[in-house]
Structure 1
C-alpha cells in the first residue's frame, strides 16, 4: 500500500507524513494519535523505535505489526512483557516472508537472527508455533535456531520444522530421534518428502509404532531389506501396519510371502492383485494362502474340540460340586444332631407344641424349628431343612399344614427362612385358613417325597 492510498486511523495524522510531523505527533498525549502514527507506513524508523518503548500496549502492538519497523525495534519487542505484542511480531514475520524475494528474505533473516532466537524460546507456545511455521522451508535459517524449535516440548512447534526444514541432514535427524523427542516428533520425520534408508532404519530402531506406520505410508521413504525384515518380525502384533505394508511400493517376494502368513483375508486379496509381483511370487502367495486356510480350518476344529472338552469338564465339575453340596446338606441335617435329639425328647414328653416352636422361631433357633416341623409332619429332617432354604412357597406351605401348624406360621417360614418376596408368598385366606386345598397339598407332599 502506498502513502497516497493509506488512510490514517486518526484525523490528526496526515496521509502524507513529514519527519517533523511524525516527531511532533509522537509526543502527543492522546494514545490514539500515537497508535495511528505507529501504524503509518511513512513513519520514520527512529520514530517507530521510540514508539516501541511506549507504555501503551496497543501502540507497541501497532509497531510490531508495521512491516516498516526497523529490525532494532523488532528485536526490542521480542522481549516485550505482553504476549500479544510478541504474537503480533512473529505473525508479521510469517506474513511478510512469502512476499520477499529470496535475496531480501535472506537479508531479513541474517539481520534478525538474534530476534528469531529470542522468539524461539518465547514462553507463549503460539509465538513459537508461528515462528516454526514461518521458517520451516527456509534453507538459510541458522541450524541452531531450527534445532531449538525441532526439540521443543510442544509438538505443534516441533512438527513443522521436523517435517519440512531443508536445514537438517540425516545425521541431524537421527540425533533428534535418538534423543527421544516429544511424542509425535518421530512421526513428523517419517512424513518428510525424502527419507534415506539409514534414516528409515533409525525410525524403526526407535520402536515408535505410530512413526513406523507413517514411514510405511510414505511412498518416498527408502526401506532396505534388513529394515523391512525387522518391521515384518513385529508386524503380526501391529494390525495398523498391515494395510500400509501391503500397499508399499517395490515390495520384495520375501516380504510379500511373509505378509501372506498373517494379514487379514481382504488384504491378502489386495496383495494377490498387485501387478508388480512376478509369477513365482504369485504362485508362492497362492500356496501360502491355501496353507493358511488349511491351518485356520484345522485350528478351528481343534478349538471346537477343546471347547467341547471344556464344557464337558465344567459339567462334570458342577455335578461333583452338587453331590458334595448334597452330602454336606445331609450331614447338616443328621438326626444324630444334638438339637434334633432335644426336640425329639420334648415331643415324647408332650412338650412340643406351637408355642414352643414360635418361641424358638423368635429366638432364631432355626434347627429347633426345622427339627420340630420334621417330627410333627413325620417327614425327613434333611428334606425339611433343604426345602425351607429354597424359594418353594407351595412346598413350605404343604409341609407346615401336614405338621399341624398355622398358615401364618407357614408364611413366616417363607419370608424369613426362604427369603421369598411378597409377590411369591402363599398367604392365608382372609379367614386365616390355608389358601391351598387339601388335595393340592397332599399332591405337593407326594411329589416332595417321590
Structure 2
C-alpha cells in the first residue's frame, strides 16, 4: 500500500474498511491525520478519530465535511481551542446545505453544536462562528442575536455589519441598550438601514455613528431626520462633507448647507449631481452672498451702520438677516430684529437668552419674518436643542395663534403690533 503525499492521503484509492480501522488504531499520528482528512472514510472511523490523542488528528476530523454530526458534538467540547475553532467555521459553512430540511435531525443537531460554540469561552472560537455565519441567510435568529450582543468586538461586528437575519426590532433593542460607540457605527454602516433605525442612531447622540449614517447611501433617512442633521451640522464639522456628497439630497437642504459650510464643501455641494439646475443656481447665489458678506468686513463696518444701510435700501429682509444668522454675525441679527420688531435691543437679547421656543418664535413673528426663519433663530440664535424646537404647522405656518404670540411678547416686555 502506498501513500499519496500530494493530496495528503494515507491510503491509495477507496480505503478498505478493515485497513482504515487498523490505521486509525495503530498508525502513526501523521498517517491518522491524513486518514481523518479523507472524505471517503466510513463515518464510524471518523467518529473514532474524533477522540484521538493527537490534536492534529482531531482538527482534521473537525475540518472534514464528511465527519458525522455525532463527532461534532464531541469536538465542540474538545480541550484544544484550535479544534473548536476549525469546527465552528466548518459547521457554519455547512448550514446552508442543511437548511432545506430545517426540521430534520441533522440540521437541529448542527445548530445545537454551533450554539455551543457560540458560547465558547475562547474568543477565537466565537469569532470563527460569527465570521462564518455573517453571510448565511438561514442562520438561526436567536444565535445571531446572541453573537450580535457579544461583548467582544471581533465577534459582534461581523454580525452587526453583514447579517441579514437581524431584524429592525433586534437592532433597535441593541441601540436602546446604550452600547459602545463602535456598535452604533457598525449598525450605521449596514448595507440597508431603515428609517426607524436611522432615527434611533441619530437620537443616541453619537456623533461618529451619525456621520457613518450620513455617508451610507443605503441609509433610508426620513426627511425630517435629515433636516435636523443638516441644522446640527453647522456645529458638527465632520458631518458637512458627507452631507454635501449624500445622494438625493433635497434641494432645500443643499441650500441650507450652502449657508455655512466652508469653501471646499461648498464647491462639492455646488457640483452635486442630483441638484436640479435651479437649485444649483440658488446654491451659487448663496455662495456669492457669502463672499459679499466677507468683503463687507463686518469687523470694520459697525453692525448698526450695516443695519441702517440695508433698511434704507429696503433690503433688511429675511435673506439678509438669515445670512447673518448663518454666518454668526449675532450683533447684526439682534439689531436687525430690534429695528424690524420696533422693540428695544435689550428685550431682543433677553428673549434670545431665555431659550424659550415660544418666546423666540413670537420674536420672529413680531419682526415680520417667516416661520422658517423662526426655526433657524431658535436653533442658531438662541441655542435651543433640536428636540425642543417649536416646529412649523403644515410645514410653513406659525404654530401659535396671534393671541399666544402677543402674550409671549407681553411677558418679555415687548409691544403688541407686529413689525414691518
The structure-2 alpha-carbon separation of the partners of 1:55 and 1:265, relative to structure 1 and needing over 3 Å to count, comes to same
Instruction: Kindly report which structure 2 residues correspond to 1:160-239, keeping only aligned pairs within 5 A, or say none.
Output: 160-239=158-237
Q: Which residue of 2 aligns with 1:85?
A: 83
Which segment drifts farther, 35-44 or 73-82?
A: 35-44
Q: Which residue of 2 aligns with 1:433?
A: none
Q: Which residue of 1 aligns with 2:268?
A: 270
Q: Secondary structure at the match of 1:237?
A: coil
Q: Partners of 2:16 and 2:6 in 1: how far apart?
A: 14
Q: Is 1:126 aligned to 2:124, yes or no? A: yes
Q: Which residue of 2 aligns with 1:147?
A: 145
Q: Which runs of 5+ in 1 are unaligned?
A: 304-450
Cα shift at 1:14: 5.0
1:169-199 C-alpha deviation (Å, 9 max, x unpaired): 2111111111233432222222222222112
CA contact under 8 A between 1:48 and 1:70: conserved in structure 2? yes
Q: Is 1:159 aligned to 2:128, yes or no? A: no
CA contact under 8 A between 1:155 and 1:183: conserved in structure 2? no
**Cα RMSD between the aligned structures?**
3.1
Cα shift at 1:106: 9.5
Relative to the length of structure 2, the TM-score reads 0.63
Cα shift at 1:281: 3.3
* Partner residue of 2:114 out of 96, 113, 116: 116
Q: Partners of 2:281 and 2:64 in 1: how far apart?
A: 69
CA contact under 8 A between 2:91 and 2:114: conserved in structure 1? no
CA contact under 8 A between 1:67 and 1:92: conserved in structure 2? yes
CA contact under 8 A between 1:6 and 1:15: conserved in structure 2? no
The structure-2 alpha-carbon separation of the partners of 1:256 and 1:273, relative to structure 1 and needing over 3 Å to count, comes to same
Q: Partners of 1:141 and 1:97 in 2: how far apart?
A: 8
Q: How many residues align?
A: 299
Q: Which residue of 2 aligns with 1:40?
A: 38
The structure-2 alpha-carbon separation of the partners of 1:259 and 1:41, relative to structure 1 and needing over 3 Å to count, comes to same
The structure-2 alpha-carbon separation of the partners of 1:137 and 1:298, relative to structure 1 and needing over 3 Å to count, comes to same
Cα shift at 1:232: 1.9
Q: Partners of 1:8 and 1:105 in 2: how far apart?
A: 34
Q: Partners of 2:182 and 2:95 in 1: how far apart?
A: 27
The structure-2 alpha-carbon separation of the partners of 1:284 and 1:74, relative to structure 1 and needing over 3 Å to count, comes to same
The structure-2 alpha-carbon separation of the partners of 1:268 and 1:44, relative to structure 1 and needing over 3 Å to count, comes to same
Q: Secondary structure at the match of 2:120?
A: coil
Relative to the length of structure 1, the TM-score reads 0.59
Q: Which runs of 5+ in 2 are unaligned?
A: 302-420
Q: Partners of 2:108 and 2:98 in 1: how far apart?
A: 14
* Partner residue of 1:103 out of 100, 105, 109: 100
Q: Which residue of 1 aligns with 2:240?
A: 242
The structure-2 alpha-carbon separation of the partners of 1:246 and 1:125, relative to structure 1 and needing over 3 Å to count, comes to same
Higher RCO structure, 1 or 2 (CA under 8 Å, sep 6+): 2
CA contact under 8 A between 2:138 and 2:165: conserved in structure 1? yes
Q: Is 1:52 aligned to 2:50, yes or no? A: yes
